[in-house]
Amino acid sequence: MKTYLVTGGAGFIGSNFILYMLDRYSDIRIINLDALTYAGNLENLKSVEKDPRHIFVQMNICDREGVRGLFEKYDIDYVVNFAAESHVDRSIANPEIFVETNVLGTVNMLNCAKQAWLKDGAWAQGKKYLQISTDEVYGSLGETGYFTEQTPLCPHSPYSASKASADMFVMAYHDTYGMPVNITRCSNNYGPFQFPEKLIPLMINNARNKKSLPVYGDGMNIRDWLYVEDHCKAIDMVLCGGKPGEVYNVGGHNERPNIFIVKTIIAQLHDKVDAGIDESLITHVADRLGHDRRYGIDPEKIRRDLGWYPETMFEDGIVKTIDWYLANGDWMENVTSGSYLEYYKEMYAGK
Ligand code: NAD
Ligand code: DAU
């Protein structure tokens, strides 16, 4: 039985990953370490709250003694480090917390894993540390070309600078100590359980409430969208088959300008919710500072080496996603109000 230490497992991708793994494998155990910041929501994991294979621990990844204690208590095989401050706009407003969590937290996770796994100069067998990184570390593309794993790191926002810094520490632990690590760099994810500060859930939530839809700048910035379950599949494959020390880019060749995404959401909600929802809700607002123009991932390496490919076409994934948010209005109300927190703290106390 493999034991996974998943950090940030109450967030968007982390919770989707836990659900994906528990559904796929019966013989695993997942320790879910999450500080439950504004972005962490145990309601995402309601369907596994009584599953003994899922053990939730409320903890900060910067907590040295706490994380060390988890490695002593459980024989951890894999660390999957999702925990991060993840929103670019927040990093522009308050960079320091991004350094604390994304950089210092990652270094703490690396240190604790090294202490547990490196004994008398030899690494224990079958262990791996996987850092969940982002395509934003590569910076911004012009009209042509793609990010490959060889593209130099050139982050622009405080968020991407903190993620690039963390990646460098991860590689430093591999190069210096021989630590078995991988890094995945994924493009923009979409799907259920994403906090409604990010483009897609924000636009769905505003549109369903007939609130204005704030499009930064000219709306022609391009992101490369990947359905979250396809990302989860990639993470599983990298954990099982990734060669230690390697970086894998993950993306689905699904580049869309932001305005296209917003208009797609409007069209769906116009038909499904209220004919009064239309493009007059779009409001062009001041651009994000340092706004990266285009991201585009070349996923050839993970396809060639591990056989990964995305299964969800954007046209299907976006409809599934919109339908999910429309069917889960309570979830949206709860995450924006935070009222779920007290209930879940009680529920998990002592587990
Ligand atoms: P998220 O903001 O939805 O979730 C982050 C989770 O980490 C939350 O549950 C939060 O409570 C937890 N957390 C934050 N600070 C913590 C700390 N100090 N200690 C412990 N837990 C803490 O983020 P997400 O969108 O799920 O992203 C997960 C990871 O994937 C991040 O590392 C992000 O950089 C990366 N990533 C995200 C995307 C995307 O499109 N969302 C794409 C590529 C990479
Ligand atoms: O590329 C991967 C990254 O994708 C992840 O590493 C980040 O954690 C994740 O937050 C995401 O970053 P983005 O900045 O690309 O995502 P966001 O949803 O914030 O914005 C997507 C695009 O939409 C971006 O060009 C900014 C624009 N935007 C965003 C918001 C919130 C708007 O035009 N209006 C908005 O209100």
For residue 167, indicate whether it is catalytic: no
Note the ligand closest to the C-alpha atom of 155.
Answer: 2
DSSP string, 184-236: EEE--EESTT--TTSHHHHHHHHHHTT--EEEETTS--EEE-EEHHHHHHHHH
- Cα angle value 87/92/94 (rounded, 5°): 90
Phi, psi of 321 (to 5 degrees): -65, -50
Query: Considering the domain boundaries, does residue 92 fall inside one?
Result: yes
Judge if pTM exceeds 0.85. Answer: yes
Q: Is 187 a residue whose pLDDT tops 80?
A: yes
Q: How many angstroms separate the alpha carbon of residue 198 from the centre of ligand 2?
A: 6
pLDDT at 341 (0 to 100): 63
Among 131-135, 292-296, 330-334, 338-342, the least confident range: 338-342
* pLDDT single digits (tens) 8-30: 999 999 999 999 999 999 999 99
Q: What is the residue type of 105?
A: G
For residue 138, indicate whether it is catalytic: no
Query: Considering the domain boundaries, does residue 120 fall inside one?
Result: yes
- Ligand 2 atom with the smallest distance to the CA of 223 is 15
132: domain CATH number? 3.40.50.720
Place of tokens 């395509």: 135
Average pLDDT (158-170) is 99
Chain centroid offset of residue 89 CA: 16
For residue 159, indicate whether it is catalytic: yes
Q: Is 165 a residue whose pLDDT tops 80?
A: yes
Query: What's the pLDDT band for 301 if we cut at 50, 70, 90?
Result: very high
Query: Considering the domain boundaries, does residue 12 fall inside one?
Result: yes
- Those residues whose C-beta lies under 8 Å from the C-beta of residue 53, and which sit 6 or more positions away, are 22, 28, 29, 30
Query: Considering the domain boundaries, does residue 70 fall inside one?
Result: yes
Of 43, 77, 135, 230, which residue is the catalytic one? 135
Query: Considering the domain boundaries, does residue 178 fall inside one?
Result: yes
Question: How many folded domains does the chain comprise?
Answer: 1
Which contacts qualify for 154-158: CB closer than 8 Å, 24 or more apart?
156/290, 156/292, 157/88, 157/91, 157/92, 157/290, 157/292, 158/91, 158/92, 158/95, 158/98
Whether 333 and 265 have beta carbons less than 8 Å apart is answered as no
User: Residue 345 belongs to what domain range?
Assistant: 2-190+226-253+293-311+339-349
Residue ranges around ligand 1 (CB below 6 Å) = 7-8, 10-14, 34-37, 39-40, 60-62, 82-86, 101, 105, 132, 134, 163, 186, 188-189, 195
- Those residues whose C-beta lies under 8 Å from the C-beta of residue 99, and which sit 6 or more positions away, are 162, 165
* pLDDT single digits (tens) 111-137: 999 999 999 999 999 999 999 999 999
Place of tokens 């903190």: 162
Average pLDDT (28-51) is 96
pLDDT at 334 (0 to 100): 87
The 246-250 sheet, strands edge to edge? 54-58, 28-34, 2-7, 78-81, 128-134, 181-186, 246-250
Q: How far is the C-alpha of 296 from the C-alpha of 284, rounded, in Å?
A: 24
pLDDT at 56 (0 to 100): 98
Q: How many angstroms separate the alpha carbon of residue 54 from the centre of ligand 1?
A: 19
Phi, psi of 310 (to 5 degrees): -75, 135
Note the ligand closest to the C-alpha atom of 202.
Answer: 2
* pLDDT single digits (tens) 203-260: 999 999 999 999 999 999 999 999 999 999 999 999 999 999 999 999 989 999 999 9
pLDDT at 188 (0 to 100): 98
Query: Considering the domain boundaries, does residue 66 fall inside one?
Result: yes
- The radius of gyration computed from the CA coordinates of the chain, to the nearest angstrom, equals 20
pLDDT at 347 (0 to 100): 56
Query: Considering the domain boundaries, does residue 207 fall inside one?
Result: no
Q: How many angstroms separate the alpha carbon of residue 338 from the centre of ligand 2?
A: 22
Query: Considering the domain boundaries, does residue 277 fall inside one?
Result: no
Q: Is 351 a residue whose pLDDT tops 50?
A: no
